[in-house]
Amino acid sequence: MSTVLSVSGSPSATSRTARLLRHLDARLTAEGHHVVPLDVRTLPPEALLGADFGHPAIVEATELFAQADGIIVGTPVYKAAYSGLLKSLLDLLPQYALRDKTVLPLATGGSTAHVLAIDYALRPVLSSMGAGHIVQGWFVLDRHLAVREDGSLTVDPAAREGLNQVLHQFSGALGGSPLLSVAG
């Protein structure tokens, strides 16, 4: 199957965005995809903020993008846009780092007022980076993601159907099974 890079642009160690991505990673892995998680917050801040293209961690992250067939980009929405942390990484990647890649943009936030952040903030950047196919993105309200005591995630049925749809599109574009679904 395909190699999927799953990128969390959340600065928080207890991020619902990252937990959602890891939840989706498990679904894609169960289908046979090779999933590589990347939490941007684990990259050296001095490399990100200093635009150190040659830093070994940035070089390694760039190689992960190059090796992936598909990329999931997840971000919390702050002030109607994707996270500055995610932007700092995207700025360090080559101009066409997403060339011929299938990309699934996802966002989380506290209010439906931020739902257009995917289409008006994130999608244009992904497109400018040469994404071959950007599947329909999806926005999930924070209140639809509950963290269990064991750290696992429960996705509210209100969000699950939409996530299933975009995950089907993404996996299908990568040559995966149309039966993939997000569990509760």
| 177 has a pLDDT exceeding 60 | no
Does residue 176 carry a pLDDT above 90? no
Provide the pLDDT for residue 184. Answer: 59
Q: What is the pLDDT of residue 4?
A: 98
User: Quick check: 181 pLDDT over 60?
Assistant: no
pLDDT at 28: 94
pLDDT digits (tens, 9 = 90+) for 111-163: 988 889 999 999 999 999 999 999 999 999 999 999 999 888 999 998 999 99
Centre a 10 Å sphere on the Cβ of residue 39 and count the other Cβ atoms it contains.
Answer: 21
pLDDT at 142: 94
Which token pair is 168?
Answer: 């089907």
Q: What is the structure's pLDDT at 152?
A: 85
Q: What integer pLDDT is reported at residue 151 of this predicted model?
A: 82
Calculate the dihedral angle through the C-alpha atoms of 123, 92, 69, 128, rounding to the nearest 10 degrees. Answer: 30
Q: Is 40 helix (H, G, I), strand (E, B) or coil?
A: helix
What is the architecture, at CATH level 2, of domain 3-173?
3-Layer(aba) Sandwich (3.40)
- Using one digit for the tens of pLDDT, what is the confidence trace for 35-63? 999 999 999 999 999 999 999 999 999 99
Give the pairing type, strands 153-155 and 133-134: unpaired
Cβ proximity of 103 and 126 under 8 Å: yes
More confidently predicted of 181 and 20: 20
SS3 label, residue 123 = helix
What mean pLDDT value characterizes the chain? 93
DSSP 122: I
**Global confidence as pTM:** 0.93
Domain boundaries, given as residue ranges, for the chain: 3-173
